[in-house]
Structure 1
Amino acid sequence: MTMDPALVHQLVRAIEQKDLSTAAHTWRVVLYTRAMMEAAGFDHDSIHAGTYAAALHDVGKLDLPTAILQKPGKLTEEEFEAIKLHPVAGYARMVSHDIEDQPVLDLIRFHHERWDGLGYPYGLAGDDIPIGARYFAVIDTFDALTSVRPYREKIGERAAEEAIAILEDGSGTRYWVEAVDAFKSLYREGMLDFILHYFNDDVPVPEFHHQRIEQEERLRRRSG
């Protein structure tokens, strides 16, 4: 079975109710993913699959205790080990819904793998990591570094620039070089500015839809 929009909506709403910070993160990474895929020239069906995968990448957190997800302090080693299982839990949940869309399953399952093989949960490296997960690792990290979280209440004015520097430093080790370069190019060209506006906000979906129209117009001008 391929992705059903109603199922996506149901699961995203469940994530929102479980953890508000994860919900806001979800909508931002959806927009980052669309921006990258559109700029790279992916076809319509691939972009739809990519955005569904981005929306559901943390669906495995539905199986984690809320106390861990919303903990304001540093996680214990045991708690972090539990967090590291969420890609496996997310994959299992999607399989239980008879989802067979491989790009979606791959991103959910492998988005915390690292180019150098030091990621989790499987320790995949290099070309063994599906390409969607390679791109998404960059997006996920950037948003984590530029948004308010339960353990971080404020973001500095230079958070985005500092996040880009961290991605550059990890290019070729933690992250795939091509993914870092593609994301950095969009950032430098101002194509991500409207998403960055929502560093810390719980923004309603209709407002994101309005911003999507603006993003599509900017991308058309860029490609033209």
Structure 2
Amino acid sequence: MTAVTPIIETSEELDPKTFNLQDWLVGGDAHRIHKETTLALDADAAVRISELEAELDRAEARLNTAKSEQADRDENSMESIADSSDKAILAEEENIKKIWGQLEELQDTTRTALFRTRTLSEREKKDVMNAWKEESGADEVDTEALSFWAMVFAKTATLEGQHLTSAQWMQVAETIGMQFSRTIAVYTAALNVEASFEVSPRFRS
């Protein structure tokens, strides 16, 4: 549910009659790297999912530690200690199965929405920064402000395929609460991909 999947929009064949050269030159939406994540529409369910995910991480860490200790144990260790360790491992494995079951059940019954975003072009970035400073009256841009990200996503993102206004993105932030941080993380991930992106040698002249 929290997985972030990179998507690169490509076209198998470019039709000269329909290809928009100007859109491509300015980094239009269809030609940019996109990333996405799934958001829970029920805030309570989102909190419970996060709790279960954290519980699962802790259980898996305990299991790995127990297995590591078992592997490192001397062959001459007392049998009772080995039996106790085996039981602890089995108990933790059962606990992990139980947590996974709860997670899957919750995910199957929770309504979700797909968030998808690209990054701002340099021109868009300047426009957003100027618009935010004008609206807020601040001299410097606060990139941690929800209103800033609402403006960004109004240009770069969709929710279930729908483009929203900055005011609507503010409403989304209020509705999903802490989950909104995921949308910012996804944008940052797309930005990092773009920063490190290299063209395959096969496509170089």
Greater Rg by CA: 2
Structure with greater strand share of residues: 2
The verdict on a shared fold, with TM-score over 0.5 as the criterion, is no
TM-score (norm: length of structure 1): 0.25
Higher RCO (CA-CA < 8 Å; seq separation 6+): 2
TM-score (norm: length of structure 2): 0.26
